[in-house]
Chains A and B, each alone.
Chain A
Amino acid sequence: MTDSTEKSGGLIRLQVDGRAVSVPDGSTILDAARILGIRIPTLCFSPLIEPYAACRICSVEVEFANGKKRIVTACNYPVWEGIKVHSDNEKVRRIRRMIVEMLLARCSNVGVLKDLAAEYGLEEVRLEKQEEECILCGLCVRVCAEVVGKAAISFAGRGLGRRIATPYDRQTEDCIACGACALVCPTGVIRVEDMEGRAVAHEELALGPAKAITVPFLQAVPNVPYIRTERCIHFQTDGCGHCAEICERDAIDYGMKDEEFEVDVGNIILATGFDLFDPSVMQQYGYGRFQNVVTSLEFEHLNSASGPTGGRILLANGDTPSVVGIVHCIGSRDQRYHEHCSKVCCMYALKYAHLIKEKTKAEVYNFYIDMRCTGKGYEEFYDRLLGEDVRFVRGKVGEISRLPVSAGEEGKLIVRVEDTLVGIVRRIPVDMVILCPAMKAHPDAKDVSRVFSCSVGKDGFFIEKHPKLAPVSTTSEGVFIAGACQGPKDIPETVAQGAAAAAEVLSLIDRKEIEIEAATAVIDEERCSGCRICNALCSFGAITFDESKGVSVINAALCKGCGTCAAACPQGVIKARHFTDRQINSEIEGILR
Chain B
Amino acid sequence: MRFEPKIVGFLCNWCSYTGADLAGTARIKYAPNIRSIRVMCSGRVDPAFVVKAFAEGADGVLIAGCHPGDCHYQEGNYKALRRYLLLKRILPEYGIEPERLRLEWIAASEGERFAQVVNEFTEQVRKLGPMNFKDSLFESMKNDVMIHEEHAPQGTGEQR
Q: Which residues of A approach B to under 8 Å, CB–CB?
A: 449-450, 453, 455-458, 463, 475-476, 519, 524, 526-527, 537, 539-540, 560-564, 566-568, 572-573, 575-576, 579-582, 584-585, 587-589, 591-592
Contact = CB atoms under 8 A, between A and B. Distances in A.
B158 A588 contact: no
Contacts of B4: none
Nearest to B157: A524
Contacts of A580: 159-160
A585 B49 contact: yes
- The interface centre, meaning the residue of B18, B48, B58, B109 with most chain A CB atoms within 10 A of its CB, is B109
A584 B37 contact: yes
A91 B56 CA distance: 117
B14 A564 contact: no
Given A562-B76, A572-B152, A592-B53, 8 more contacts: A527-B156, A539-B75, A539-B76, A564-B44, A567-B47, A582-B160, A585-B49, A591-B37
A587 B37 contact: yes
Given A475-B14, A582-B149, A585-B52, A519 B40 contact: yes
B158 A524 contact: yes
Contact of A588 (B8, B44, B47): B8
A449 B147 CA distance: 41
Contacts of B70: 449-450, 455
Contacts of B109: 455-458, 463
Given A580-B160, A588-B37, A572 B72 contact: no
B49 A588 contact: yes
Contacts of B73: 539-540, 560, 562, 564
A453 to B, nearest CB: 6
A587 B152 CA distance: 20
A348 to B, nearest CB: 28
Contacts of A581: 46, 48-49, 148-149, 160
Interface in B31-69: 35, 37, 39-41, 43-49, 52-53, 56-58, 69
A537 to B, nearest CB: 6
Nearest to A457: B109
B79 interface: yes
A523 B130 CA distance: 39
A458 B109 CA distance: 6
Contact of B8 (A453, A455, A463, A591): A591
Interface string B123-160: 00000000000000000000001011100110010111
Interface string B1-18: 000001010000011001
A579 B49 CA distance: 12
Contact of A584 (B49, B72, B83): B49
Interface residues of B, number: 46
Contact of A526 (B14, B47, B74, B156): B156
Given A463-B109, A576-B40, A591-B37, A564 B52 contact: no
A428 to B, nearest CB: 39
Closest 5 pairs between A and B when the two form their complex, measured CB to CB = A563-B44, A564-B43, A572-B148, A562-B73, A562-B41
A539 B48 CA distance: 22
A579 B79 contact: no
B44 A592 contact: no
Contacts of A540: 73-74
Contacts of A564: 41, 43-44, 73, 75-76, 79
B81 to A, nearest CB: 12
Given A455-B14, A567-B83, A581-B148, A591 B40 contact: no
B14 A537 contact: no
Nearest to B37: A587
A495 B147 CA distance: 58
27 contacts: A453-B71, A453-B72, A455-B70, A455-B108, A458-B110, A475-B14, A475-B72, A476-B72, A524-B156, A527-B153, A539-B73, A562-B76, A563-B41, A563-B43, A567-B83, A572-B148, A579-B40, A579-B44, A580-B159, A580-B160, A581-B46, A581-B48, A582-B149, A584-B46, A585-B52, A588-B52, A592-B57
B151 to A, nearest CB: 8
B115 interface: no
A567 B78 CA distance: 13
Contacts of A539: 73-76
Kindly name the residue among A453, A540, A580, A588 whose own CB sees the greatest number of chain B CB atoms within 10 A.
A588
B71 to A, nearest CB: 8
Contacts of B20: none
Given A560-B73, A563-B41, A572 B79 contact: no
B43 A567 contact: yes
Contact of A592 (B8, B15, B72, B108): B8
A521 to B, nearest CB: 9
A577 to B, nearest CB: 10
A565 to B, nearest CB: 9
A341 B43 CA distance: 37
A468 to B, nearest CB: 11
Contacts of B69: 450
A524 to B, nearest CB: 7
A206 B79 CA distance: 58
A415 B70 CA distance: 45
Contacts of B118: none
A481 to B, nearest CB: 14
A582 B44 contact: no
A455 B45 CA distance: 22
Nearest to A565: B43
Contacts of A463: 108-109
Contact of A589 (B47, B56, B156): B56
Contact of B44 (A450, A475, A567): A567
B23 interface: no
A567 B49 CA distance: 9
B107 interface: yes
A580 B39 CA distance: 10
- Of A457, A526, A537, A584, the most chain B CB neighbours within 10 A belong to A584
Nearest to B25: A467
Given A524-B158, A562-B44, A588-B8, A537 B108 contact: no
